[in-house]
Structure 1
Amino acid sequence: MSQPLQFAVFGHPIAHSLSPQIHQAFARQFGIALEYRAIDATPEAFAETVQRFFQEEGGRGANVTLPHKSAAFAQADERTQAATRAGTANVLTSLANGRLSAHNTDGAALVRDLTERHDLDLRGHDALLLGAGGAARAVAWSLFEAGVQNLTIVNRSPAAADALADAIGEPARVHTRYWEDLANIGSFDLIVNATSAGTLGKSLTLPFSLAGSRAACYDLGYGKSAFGFLAWAHAAGARYAYDGLGMLVEQAADAFELWHGQRPATGPVYQSLHVQGT
C-alpha cells in the first residue's frame, strides 16, 4: 500500500491552525490520501525544519504562517510574482532536484472571499489598509487590481507605508497617511485590518469616523484575533464586518490546487468551520 502524500503547515505557535482540518476536508472531496501536519518551528529552526521536511520526509508542499512568511520567501529557489511583490510566501511547493517554489495566495484569497462569498463589488471603493507589513503587502496589489478607486495605507511606521505605496507605483490612487491622523482623514467604504494587533492580543484604538455608512470592515485574522476589530466595526456602524476565515479557506484551496491539480469546493468547508464558531 502506498504511503499518503506528505503536506504540512509551519508556524510558531501553530497548534491552533485550522489548515490540517481544511486540507483533509478538501482531500475527501477527491478521495486523495494525504497526511497534513502542523509543525511548530521556532524562527531559529525554521530553515532546517523545512529542509528536513522536503528532503528527508518526502514533503510535497507546505503552507506557511506567522512568523515565517519572510523566511519562506528567502528560502525558496523560485518565486511567483505575487510572492515577490509581497516579499513573503505562504505556500512552498517541492520542485525537482530538491528545489522549492514560493507562492503568496493571500491577496487573491482575500478578494475572492470579499467578491464571491460576500458579494461585494470593490470597484470604486475608497479603501483603507491598516498596516504595511507582510500581510498588508500580500493583499495591497490585489485590492488595487480588484478595482478600488483609492487605497490609503496607514502604518505606525510611516516609512513602511511609504515603501509599499511607492512599490505599487500609482501615486494618484495610492496614498499614505500618519497613524496619528486617523481621526481626520475622513471615512472609507472598505477597511482592511492587516496589523498584527489582534494576533498579539493587543487592542487597536480606532476612531469611529473611519467607517462610512456602507463600510465593509475585514480583519485578515480569524477567531479570537479578529474579535476586537470586528467589535469596533459594529460599534462604528459599519454595514458589514468579516473576519479572515473565508480568506483562510480560499488560500488553502489555492495551495491544494497547486499541489493536486484539482480545485476543491470551498463553500461546504467554510460553512462547516463557520458553524463551529472558529
Structure 2
Amino acid sequence: IAGFARERLREDFRRADVGISGVNFAAADTGTLTLMTNEGNGRMVTSQPRVHIAVMTVEKVIPRFTDLGVLLPLLVHAATKQRMSVYQTMINGPRRAGEPDGPDQLHLVIVDNGRSRLLGGRYEEVLACIRCGACQVACPVYRTVGGHAYAATYGGPIGAVLSPLLDERPEHAALPYLSSLCGKCADVCPVKIPLPDMLVDLRADHQAARGDATRQARGWRLWAALWTRPRSYRASVGMAAAGSLLPDRLVRRLPGARRWARGRELPPLRGAGAFRRWVAMRARRDGAGR
C-alpha cells in the first residue's frame, strides 16, 4: 500500500502548482519556519510546487531559533514518544539562485482569529499549547466519544478550552462540560497548561452568562446538606440504587430526566457496601500496623 501511494502521490506533488502546509514553530529572530512530519509529505509539498503557502496561528511564533533545541524534542516525545520525527524541515524563504529545489514564491498566512484577545487574561496560558495531542490521548472522555463530538477544529481537553474562547457559537459554549475533571490532561501536558482549572472557570463563565449560576449554587448547597448528614446520605444512595433498577425507557420519561438521560445509560448503583468494606479494610490494616 505504501509503495502504491508513493508512486501515485509523488506525481501529484510534481504536477502541483501550489502547495499548502502548516507550521509547527516560527522563529522570530531568523524568520525560519519549522515543519515536523514522519511521512515526508511536508517536505514534498514545500519543495516541489512552484508556490508554497504556509498557514500558521499567531502563537506558533517563538522568540529565538535556538529555542527549537528544547521545543522540538518536547513536541515529538509528547506526541509520538519518539526522540525526533523522521523529517524536520526548516524553511527560510523561497528558492535562491543555484538551489536545485524549492518554491519560486513563499507566502506566509498568520491567523489570529481572536487569539490576541486572550493575552493578559485568565486564559492566556492556553496559547502555550504546542499541539502535541497528549491531552487528547490521556482524556477518558475524548477516547470514548472521539473528536467529531466536539464539532470543532480542536478536540479533547485543549479543544474544550480553546474553541469556546475563539468561537462564540452556542454549541461550543458547552464544550467545557465534556470533561470528567480527572486531571490527566494536566499531568501529561508538556508545557503544563492548567486545563482542568480552565475548564472549571469556563463552566462558571457559561453559567453566569446564562443567568443560572445562582440556581446551580442552590443545587450544590442542597446536595451538600444531604450528603453531609449520614441519615440523608444513606437514604439518597438507597433511592438512587432502587431507581437504577428501573429500565432506561422509564427513567427517560421522568420529569426533567428526558434530555439528560437521552444519551446516557445509567449504571446500576451498589449502595455504600463497597465503600464500607474499604473503610473496614483500612481500619484492620492500620490496627495491624500498630
Higher relative CO (Cα under 8 Å, sequence separation at least 6) belongs to 1
Q: By percentage of residues, which structure has more strand?
A: 1
Q: TM-score, normalised by structure 2?
A: 0.25
Q: TM-score, normalised by structure 1?
A: 0.26
Q: By percentage of residues, which structure has more helix?
A: 2
Question: Whose Rg is larger?
Answer: 2
